[in-house]
Amino acid sequence: MTHHEGDNIESLKSIEVIQHDLPTSLKPLTLTIGKEWITILFKDETGIMQIKTEETPNGIVFTYSGSFFIHHLRDEVDQVLLPFLGRAVSILRLTDMNDRVYIIGSPDCPVLLNLSASTGQKYVNENGGTYNFSVQQTSPAVSA
């Protein structure tokens, strides 16, 4: 048996988000004219995606979930991400460390994005927020 010495497939290199109603098609992915992906700048080595498949009476369900950390609570991050928080209104484009791209969510099945943040209690604690995302869909992620 051989072991792969490359980057961890689960680590995320980049995360981009759009509102779930902006694509005009998913295969190929085409956005509404004048709209584009919003890049989320998160702390290196904090992005993770987990993939789970489950057989149900209605077929296979694909669950995509994960998280990323943004250091330092600040207004510019809140303004960009606030419209996406707490509601299932997002589609995410995730690129892992091996440059494999996953588009999760769809207009009919948007991604839920939540935030858990802290100012930190001590000087050594990190001020920032962990953003969690999840979606259950009946088809695998679109590869781009």
Task: Give the C-alpha separation, 28 to 30, whole Å.
Answer: 6
Q: Look at residue 24 in the predicted model and tell me its pLDDT.
A: 76
Share of the chain above pLDDT 90, in %: 51
Mean pLDDT by 10 residues, the chain (144 residues): 57 92 76 89 93 94 96 81 89 92 92 89 79 95 83
Contact residues for 37 (Cβ-Cβ < 8 A; gap 6+): 16, 17, 18, 31, 93
Q: Exposed, middle or buried, 3 (CB in 10 Å: 0-12/13-18/19+)?
A: exposed
Q: What is the pLDDT of residues 24-56, one digit of tens each?
A: 777 777 888 888 999 999 998 899 999 999 999
